[in-house]
Amino acid sequence: MPELPEVEVSRQGIAPHMIGQSITAIVVRQPQLRWPVPDAVQQATGQVIHAVRRRAKYLFIDTPMGSVVLHLGMSGRLRVIPASTPVAKHDHLDIVLDNGQCLRFHDPRRFGACLWQGQDDPSLPLLEKLGPEPLTDEFDGKHLHLFSSGKKVAVKNFIMDNHVVVGVGNIYANEALFASGIDPRKPAGKVSRSRYDRLADNIKNVLSRAIEQGGTTLKDFTQTDGKPGYFAQHLRVYGRANAPCEVCETPIKSVTIGQRNSFYCPQCQR
């Protein structure tokens, strides 16, 4: 599933090709994605794109009338290609531009989404209670420590809660906890402020490095130019069950936490 770095890499890839272009058509071939594609997205037709933003794992294609909101789901991919390119299976939506190009949304599993946020509409409900962006000053160890007070949930699940902080998906939660020396099973309320300071810094570092490397390609994700993300080559615990820890050579353990595979070093992480 594309996580925050993969979505940010997608944003960076498509933005230069879209900003300043007019939308001449929005072609919806599959109206039923994770949610029905609303007819209101057609309000963007004829509008000039003035920004391509990201909030959590949602991309906003901003126009004076409002924003087309895209989510990649589990297998979604975006490419800017000539609008005349033959349509392939699972090419569900095109945003056609006046320069002859289009943004094409490909999603085999159809867990992605295309929604509409009008300029004067209230915020979409799914965006209302999101936590801070992890790569901003609003997110730090103080924030984590405050929200963790009294919580018995595993710290790994805690930092993956979008109400606490957005975009810290499974891969990057594993890696940040390893870098911080924190056992992913530890109750969130039992982690000290100083350790949360370190964890917040490592979340920022891991996500930033992943973005620089073009994200992590494990199965479905590729960059908008079709190239894989290279951060998979730098994973220190994720997917490395029984392999030696790079620090102490203790075999990496794998456990299920919150129905997700989790990886940690039993020696380095306490």
What are the backbone angles phi and psi of residue 146, rounded to the nearest 5°?
-60, -45
The residue from 54, 57, 104, 236 that is catalytic is 57
**Is 186 a residue of the active site?**
no
d(CA 215, CA 7): 8
Other Cβ atoms closer than 10 A to 32: 10
Q: Is 90 annotated as a binding residue?
A: yes
Return the residue matching tokens 């944003």.
Answer: 11
d(CA 39, CA 26): 10
Q: Is 50 annotated as a binding residue?
A: no
The residue from 34, 55, 198, 260 that is catalytic is 260
Total residue length of the chain = 270
- The structure tokens listed for 254 are 């794998």
**Is 3 a residue of the active site?**
yes
C-alpha distances out from residue 27 to 14, 30, 50, Å: 18, 9, 20
d(CA 106, CA 187): 39
Classify residue 226 by burial, with Cβ atoms within 10 Å: 0-12, 13-18, 19+.
exposed
In the 8-state DSSP scheme, what is residue 4?
H
The residue from 2, 5, 134, 184 that is catalytic is 2
**Is 29 a residue of the active site?**
no
Other Cβ atoms closer than 10 A to 194: 10
**Is 175 a residue of the active site?**
no
The residue from 3, 6, 8, 175 that is catalytic is 3
Q: Is 89 annotated as a binding residue?
A: no
Other Cβ atoms closer than 10 A to 270: 11
Contact 59, 69 (CB under 8 A): yes
**Residues flagged as binding site for DNA:** 90, 109, 151
**Residues flagged as binding site:** 90, 109, 151
Q: Which residues are catalytic?
A: 2-3, 57, 260
